[in-house]
Amino acid sequence: MKIAVFGTGGVGGYYGARWAAAGEEVHFVARGAHLEAMKAAGLRVSSPNGDLHLEPVRATDDPATIGPVDLVVVAVKLYDTESVARGCAPLLGPETSVVSFQNGVTAVETLAAAVGAERVFGGTTYIMSVIEEPGVILHTGRRARLVFGELDGRSSPRVQALLEACERAGVDAVVTDDIRGLIWSKFTFLVALSGMTSLMRLPVGSIRSDPETRALFRAAVDEAVAVARAKGVPVRDDMADRHMATVDDLPASVGSSMLYDLTHGKRLELPWLSGTVSRMGAELGVPTPVHDVVAAALKPYAEGQPPTP
């Protein structure tokens, strides 16, 4: 497959490198110091699942130099989705598909509006990985799973083609007939994890061990699940309980990508996470006091600039 990966961070860099190492024609769209390091010395992945060094690497900041591809993989931060959607144009041929492996629940609609709903299918991923330094992706923990499928649940040749590419690369991948439900299931957990760890500047172990902060975490989960139900998303009756069981299974040191961005002075996905729960709750008449506070309290940091005294 000829694949263009928009965003060569912890998600796009990890999976894109695995595909490329297995023989797929992968083009990375990156920028800044990360791009320059990739051009100079290739892309390295450090992972319990096996390290790799991809050199040379096809990397550029100009999608027009790539030409039409079979698949565009979108793995940028949510605040870059609209610009990436517009930037996809040079990559689109008659049979090109687009899939998002981003956080949040709004990316699919944003991409579909820009490139056409018929081109887009849905995806989500379960992985803890970051850019450790320019040109280097650090994957912590063994879990690295992709889940994807058509938005209407049907089977399709393009989904099967991506599954086969994952199998060739040794990537744990699953095709689902309920990708919308799985995207929301992940969101209702992630939005609580991101919001609580960032608000408190603490890893999950410290939060779950105190009865009061644990209750606050559970309230954040409950609010997100209530919004999902109000949106008409089929939600398991025990979803909140399952999410709390996941919280208890996580290593105590686990934080979130938003906490990482907050502590490193980077822009936050806040408006697309707790901000989205808060906004949708207001539109649907669902109270979301915890996420309202998270969205308001972290707003001064949302652009990556520390508050001015």
pLDDT tens for the chain, 309 residues: list them: 999 999 999 999 999 999 999 999 999 999 999 999 999 999 999 999 999 999 999 999 999 999 999 999 999 999 999 999 999 999 999 999 999 999 999 999 999 999 999 999 999 999 989 899 999 999 987 789 999 999 999 999 999 999 999 999 999 999 999 999 999 999 999 999 999 999 999 999 999 999 999 999 999 999 999 999 999 998 889 999 999 999 999 989 999 989 989 999 999 999 999 999 999 999 999 999 999 999 999 999 999 976 555
| Boundary (domain end) residue, out of 129, 159, 177 | 177
Q: Does residue 221 share a domain with residue 132?
A: no
pLDDT at site 308: 59
CA-wise closest residue to 260 among 206, 205, 201: 201
Is 309 domain-assigned?
no
- Domain carrying residue 257: 181-301
Q: Does residue 27 share a domain with residue 53?
A: yes
Is 204 domain-assigned?
yes
Q: Which of 186, 231, 266, 299 is catalytic?
A: 186
Contact 224, 195 (CB under 8 A): no
Q: Does residue 162 share a domain with residue 17?
A: yes
pLDDT at site 179: 95
Q: Does residue 120 share a domain with residue 24?
A: yes
Counted domains in the chain: 2
Q: Does residue 157 share a domain with residue 279?
A: no
Is 199 domain-assigned?
yes
Residue with tokens 């779950």: 208
186 is catalytic: yes
Is 262 domain-assigned?
yes
- Could you give the count of Cα atoms lying within 13 Å of 120 in the half-sphere of its Cβ? 22
Q: How far apart are CA 62 and CA 299, in angstroms?
A: 32
Q: How far apart are CA 259 and CA 303, in angstroms?
A: 14
pLDDT at site 163: 98
Q: Does residue 199 share a domain with residue 159?
A: no
Is 274 domain-assigned?
yes
Contact 267, 302 (CB under 8 A): yes
pLDDT at site 309: 55
Q: Does residue 206 share a domain with residue 172?
A: no
pLDDT at site 268: 96
Q: Does residue 119 share a domain with residue 248?
A: no
* E strand residue ranges, the chain: 2-6, 25-29, 43-46, 52-54, 59-60, 71-74, 97-100, 120-133, 136-149, 172-175
Is 162 domain-assigned?
yes
Is 145 domain-assigned?
yes
pTM over 0.85? The answer is: yes
| Boundary (domain end) residue, out of 161, 177, 193 | 177
Q: Does residue 168 share a domain with residue 47?
A: yes
Q: Are strands 97-100 and 71-74 parallel, antiparallel or unpaired?
A: parallel
Domain of 122, CATH number, reads: 3.40.50.720
Is 308 domain-assigned?
no
CA triplet 13, 16, 17: central angle to 5 degrees? 80
Domain of 228, CATH number, reads: 1.10.1040.10
Q: Does residue 147 share a domain with residue 205?
A: no
| Boundary (domain end) residue, out of 117, 143, 177 | 177
Q: Does residue 222 share a domain with residue 164?
A: no
Q: Does residue 271 share a domain with residue 246?
A: yes
